[in-house]
Structure 1
Amino acid sequence: MTPALNLSRRTMMLAGGGAAAAVTLAACSSPTDAATVPPSSAPTDSGSAAAASPTEIAKLADIPVGGGLAATLDGQPILLAQPTKGTVVAFSAICTHQGCKVKPAATEFDCPCHQSRYDLATGEVLGGPAPRALDKVTVTVDGDTVLAG
């Protein structure tokens, strides 16, 4: 025979309130931006040894000197910048705060979700809640073409 549980109305109300609070907190903590991408799928420069032939991702002329450009690499959003003429750097476009898609602005990269700001040339955090720099993506310039891989 199993022992009878003595659950009072007060115990049931506390348990129900705690469950409702947990559901509310879980809903508030996940990103809701339509452009959100899970951080685990962000491209990084720690790639595999089995690299394929380089992939063209942009033309050098499309990236303004001192500015940035949004692009994709293997279906993932990336950011390209040309801090000085002929030098191109690239970063994952996934915000390190909650995974929203970061966009190029006039002289930096900005996250529209919570206003994190990143340095165009280094990917370092300039302000906002982002805890760390954007992940680097390795690119090279071959003539007038920007290549990855």
Structure 2
Amino acid sequence: MERPCLSRRHALLIPATAAGLGGLAACGPADEGFGTAEPLRADEGAIALDEIPENASTLVNFGGQQPFVLLVRGTGEDLAAYSGYCTHNGCALRQEQEELDCPCHGSRFDAATGEVLVGPATRQLPEVAVVVEDGLVRRER
């Protein structure tokens, strides 16, 4: 009796392999979509404070390792900053109005406070130290 080209064991592995590869593709670096907000670019490591709208949150690309920072500005120099990456799995967040959404697993965060609104993330976004000097916002080193 001749053996078939595709064994039952190998046939059963095909759907599992395809699902695994699809999952890896979904978390790849190609998704840097930021929803309705394109991040501002901080040339030379700083951004002008007047480029950041008052009473709003804005994603900023400061460059370097983990460059995306959520700046939350009140009025004047009232400024808070949070990581722009999900605390669940480290994916870059998308800004959608008053929320930050994780495209990888669906976590959502409050764009004003960094608090978790929907899991699987369980930890709020960590604060990022920034300073305002001479009208420019920079990450503290």
Shorter-chain TM-score: which interval?
A: 0.5 to 0.7
Q: 1:83 to 1:110 in 2, by over 3 A?
A: farther
Q: 1:128 to 1:25 in 2, by over 3 A?
A: same
Indicate conservation of the 8 Å contact 1:68/1:105, yes or no.
no
Q: Number of matched residues?
A: 122
Q: Report the CA distance between 1:144 and its aligned residue.
A: 1.9
**CA distances 1:45-84 after superposition (whole Å, capped 9, x unpaired):** xxxxxxxxxx743222222222122222233222211145
Provide the TM-score with structure 2 as the length reference.
0.63
Ranges in structure 2 where 5+ consecutive residues have no aligned partner: 33-43
Max Rg structure: 1
**CA distances 1:69-104 after superposition (whole Å, capped 9, x unpaired):** 222223322221114542222223223345443233
Q: Report the CA distance between 1:146 and its aligned residue.
A: 0.9
From 57, 76, 92, the counterpart of 2:83 = 92
Provide the TM-score with structure 1 as the length reference.
0.60
Structure 2 counterpart of 1:74: 63
Identity, % of aligned positions: 33
Quote the RMSD (CA, aligned, Å): 3.1
From 94, 104, 110, the counterpart of 2:95 = 104
Which structure would you say has the larger RCO, counting Cα contacts within 8 Å and 6 or more residues apart? 1
Q: Distance in 2 between matches of 1:143 and 1:61?
A: 11
Q: Distance in 2 between matches of 1:120 and 1:83?
A: 12
Give every structure 1 segment of 4 or more consecutive aligned residues whose post-TM-superposition deviation is greater than 4 Å: 112-115
Structure 2 counterpart of 1:125: 116
User: Within 5 Å, which residues of 2 pair with 1:1-149?
Assistant: 12-14=7-9, 16-30=10-24, 31-32=27-28, 34-35=30-31, 56-75=45-64, 76-112=67-103, 115-148=106-139, 149=141
**CA distances 1:1-44 after superposition (whole Å, capped 9, x unpaired):** xxxxxxx87xx412x144324313322433156235xxxxxxxx
SS in 1 for 2:100: strand
Structure 1 counterpart of 2:36: none
Ranges in structure 1 where 5+ consecutive residues have no aligned partner: 1-7, 37-54
